[in-house]
Amino acid sequence: MGRHGARLRWVVALVSVTIAVLATVDRFVEREREWAHGGDQVAVTVEARLPEPDQVTGTAAALGWPHATDRVRGDPDRQSVVLRLRWSGPPRKGSYQVMVLDNRNSPPRALSPEGGSDAAGDTGFNWADAYEVLAARYDWLADTAAREESDGTESGAPHAGAIGTRAIGDGSLIAVFRLDPGALPLDDPSRLVVAFCHVDADGEVRWAKRVPVPPSY
């Protein structure tokens, strides 16, 4: 009886470990699938403008930013990009974070965010350590990785920044980004690419979707 009981306990333990391992594998596979295809259910469109410095405020207002005159100014030393994004898909907990990159560089160069506006009002910009995973997951977001300084310490990506908005099912965002002071002038917005990322309520990045920017006419 004792030997039978010991064998039964061993079988139960083995089954429990097997179930735990299989559950872990399933979560890993599901997470990998989410990284690769998490954004497939969200349709995103982008409209871009490349205004002169004295036209940035008016362009943002024309695209739908009601208080742009109070928040957005052009910079004569840095070219501005004004975007209007629209998306449609299932609502999610957390936020969508939007980045813009200059695809003339390899890897694409992240632009600096200036600010944005959605249906809830003006929205600022941010960057979190949790976003560093994007560079490891997507080669086209390699420029968002932390930099190693000469003293061996790491600092955040100097150019990276995201403009956040609620992860509602159907929404829109007006966003202003700026190129580096030394960047070559941009005259074709299709040389830009948008990273549309989902960050859950706990601050964990779930996926990023690459959205091409069409030329303006």
pLDDT in tens, 93-129: 999 999 999 999 999 999 999 999 999 999 989 999 9
Q: Token match 């990785």: residue?
A: 145
Under the banding of pLDDT at 50, 70 and 90, the label for residue 216 is confident
pLDDT at residue 11 tops 90: no
Q: Token match 């955040």: residue?
A: 156
Phi, psi angle pair for 2, to nearest 5°: -65, -40
As a whole number, mean pLDDT of residues 6-33 equals 63
CB-based contact 88:167 (threshold 8 Å):
no
The structure's pTM equals 0.85
Among 30, 34, 24, residue whose Cα is nearest residue 206: 34
Which DSSP symbol is given to 215? P
CA count, 13 A, side-chain hemisphere, 180: 12
Which residues are 99's β-sheet partners? 195
Q: Which pLDDT score is estimated for 103?
A: 96
Which residues are 118's β-sheet partners? 121, 173
CB-based contact 95:123 (threshold 8 Å):
no
Under the banding of pLDDT at 50, 70 and 90, the label for residue 52 is very high
Q: Which pLDDT score is estimated for 160?
A: 75
Mean pLDDT taken over the chain: 88
Q: Which pLDDT score is estimated for 29?
A: 87
